[in-house]
Amino acid sequence: MPSFFALIPAAGFGSRMGDELPKQYLPLAGKPMIYHTLRTLCGSSRITRVFVVLAPGDEGWLRHDWSDFSGKLVVLECGGGTRAESVLNGLKAARGVSSIGDDDWVLVHDAARPCLAEAQLDKLLDELADDEVGGLLAVPVADTLKRSDTNNRVAHTESRENLWQAQTPQMFRYTLLVEALSMAGGVTMTDDAGAIEALGLHPRLVLSDTRNLKVTYPQDLALAELILRNP
């Protein structure tokens, strides 16, 4: 039976957040943001090990106490210039320190999605454990979509039929994901599924909800705090 591993890319700087501190360390419900992300993944008895990928020379990590996760958490200081590079570097480094089989599952989850609920995680694992390709949590687009011209005027309305917003975790077999991200080369992939799609494969979309938001802009913090305090 394949095992489940989690890998958390946390080497970004949060430029859209506009704070001096990388956003994964911003205070949220009494803890640094990434603490909440780690709590859900490290707290799952189905996940064997959790790898966190930091930027080389990251100074924020050592300012906090991570002993709640000892035994389960492995820190890798090998982040890259993009999320995809951080994930690929992390996958390679993880195999150097842990025994991961070719067909073991890796769940890649943004440090900046601290509100992932145990139920969402379990749903993903249940629905994909026997899948040939793997997949991701996602939500159907709820708003009407406008395509703009260069002057911020509506060029036309886009159909939202069959459109989903990709979330994380995104879950693929170890070797397939390493191959996919390696082959992506210089092409910008904002998520892991994109690299798998480039191989001609079709990841499965597992219905999630908007509480698993990504904290991207300052106003997202208040929403995340509300969700965490009212699980």
Ligand X SMILES: C[C@](O)(CO)[C@H](O)COP(=O)(O)O
Q: What is the number of other CB atoms lying within 10 angstroms of the CB of residue 78?
A: 21
Binding pattern for the stretch 67-96 against ligand CTP, x by CB under 6 A and - elsewhere: ------------xxxxx--x----------
**Do residues 170 and 191 make contact, with C-beta atoms less than 8 angstroms apart?**
yes
Q: What is the DSSP letter of 176?
A: H
182 Cβ neighbours under 8 A, 6+ residues apart: 88
Minimum gap (Å) between residue 130 Cβ and ligand CTP: 28
- Among 166, 180, 215, 227, contact with ligand X (rule: CB under 6 A): 166
Binding pattern for the stretch 179-218 against ligand CTP, x by CB under 6 A and - elsewhere: -----------------------------------x-x--
Nearest residue (CB) to ligand X, 190 versus 210:
190
Nearest residue (CB) to ligand CTP, 158 versus 190:
190
Tell which phi-psi region holds residue 185, choosing left (phi > 0), alpha (psi between -120 and 50) or beta: left
Minimum gap (Å) between residue 183 Cβ and ligand X: 18
Q: Give burial (CB, 10 Å; 0-12/13-18/19+) of 185.
A: exposed
Nearest residue (CB) to ligand X, 165 versus 175:
165
Q: Give burial (CB, 10 Å; 0-12/13-18/19+) of 155.
A: exposed
Nearest residue (CB) to ligand CTP, 155 versus 187:
187
- Which residues contact ligand CTP by CB under 6 A? 9-16, 23-24, 53, 79-83, 86, 110-112, 214, 216
